[in-house]
């Protein structure tokens, strides 16, 4: 009997030690699959929309995207930006992408740090959209569930107007792309370091790695 209890105890200890690694491995597989699907869906939607609405680098001129609308005190006007992002979604994306719903966030609501409006997909993932200098997209693989942190379950993309590429060096090379080039890293090693210091740049690293979470990925999912 004592030997059985000892054996069971050892099994329990081994299970407790290996379970976190198994859970992390499962998350990496799941998140990788979702990111690949999301990227493919968005690229296809943008291509289809361009057939009707022209070069995506020109979107937003009459669709409302202006870049961080301010109130009379100089603060971001959350409601005004929400109106703009919802109009952008309905004009350029909704007709070309299968979604459950489009919703507008309240200020300080979960996800409002990512954007003003969001699209809900059938698999429970969200994409938040922000009216910035570019159109900012933050794809959250598990929607409102925690941790809601960039680099862990939320991943940043940009869709930039052509004029930004012409006037702002930081945006150069992002015209007409749904991507996040981040610091325009010269190598994967640099992209990895950028991801460590600024989680928004992790999308660039993942793009380089074909949306696979390699062993040196710096964040626990």
Say whether pLDDT at 25 is over 60.
yes
Q: Report pLDDT for 14.
A: 53
Taken in order 180, 181, 185, 189, the sign of the CA dihedral is positive
Is residue 174 within 8 A of residue 133, CB to CB? The reply is no
Going from the C-alpha of 26 to that of each of 9, 20, 76, 120, 217, the distances in angstroms are 25, 10, 39, 23, 15
Q: Exposed, middle or buried, 27 (CB in 10 Å: 0-12/13-18/19+)?
A: middle
Task: Measure the CA–CA gap between 89 and 136, rounded to whole angstroms.
Answer: 12
Residue with more model confidence, 113 or 166 = 113
Query: Which tens digits make up the pLDDT trace of 118-131?
Result: 999 999 999 999 98
3-state SS assignment for residue 70: strand
Q: Taking the domains of the chain in order of start, what are their residue ranges?
A: 24-208
Quote the tokens at residue 19: 């379970």
Q: How confident is the model at residue 179 (pLDDT cuts 50, 70, 90)?
A: low
Tell me phi and psi for residue 104, to 5 degrees: -105, 135
Task: Measure the CA–CA gap between 135 and 161, rounded to whole angstroms.
Answer: 8
Task: Measure the CA–CA gap between 127 and 122, rounded to whole angstroms.
Answer: 12
Query: Which tens digits make up the pLDDT trace of 163-172?
Result: 665 554 444 4
Q: Report pLDDT for 159.
A: 82
**DSSP code at position 85:** H
Who contacts 34 (Cβ-Cβ below 8 Å, separation ≥6)?
Answer: 123, 125, 141
Q: How confident is the model at residue 110 (pLDDT cuts 50, 70, 90)?
A: confident
Span 12-32, average pLDDT: 76
Span 73-98, average pLDDT: 89
Who contacts 221 (Cβ-Cβ below 8 Å, separation ≥6)?
Answer: 24, 27, 28, 31, 152, 153, 213
Q: Report pLDDT for 127.
A: 95
Q: Kindly state the greatest CA–CA separation across the chain.
A: 78
Q: Exposed, middle or buried, 193 (CB in 10 Å: 0-12/13-18/19+)?
A: middle
Query: Which tens digits make up the pLDDT trace of 133-146?
Result: 778 899 999 999 99
Task: Measure the CA–CA gap between 199 and 195, rounded to whole angstroms.
Answer: 5
């Amino acid at each position: 009997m004592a030997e059985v209890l000892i054996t069971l105890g050892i099994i329990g200890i081994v299970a407790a030690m290996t379970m976190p690694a198994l859970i992390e491995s499962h998350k990496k597989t799941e998140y990788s699959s979702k990111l690949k699907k999301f990227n493919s869906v968005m690229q296809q939607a943008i291509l289809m929309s361009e057939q009707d609405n022209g070069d995506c680098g020109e979107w937003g001129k009459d669709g409302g995207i202006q870049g961080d609308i301010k109130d009379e005190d100089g603060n971001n006007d959350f409601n005004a930006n929400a109106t703009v992002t919802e109009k952008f979604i309905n004009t350029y994306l909704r007709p070309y992408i299968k979604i459950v719903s489009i919703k507008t966030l309240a200020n300080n609501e979960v996800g409002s740090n990512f954007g003003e409006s969001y699209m809900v997909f059938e698999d429970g993932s969200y994409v938040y959209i922000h009216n910035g200098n570019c159109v900012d997209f933050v794809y959250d693989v598990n929607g409102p569930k925690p941790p809601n942190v960039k680099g862990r379950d939320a991943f940043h993309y940009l869709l930039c107007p052509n004029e930004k590429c012409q006037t702002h060096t930081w945006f150069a090379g992002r015209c007409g792309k749904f991507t996040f080039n981040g610091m325009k890293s010269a190598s994967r090693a640099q992209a990895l370091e950028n991801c460590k210091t600024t989680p928004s740049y992790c999308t660039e690293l993942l793009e380089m790695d074909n949306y696979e979470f390699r062993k040196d990925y710096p964040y626990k999912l």
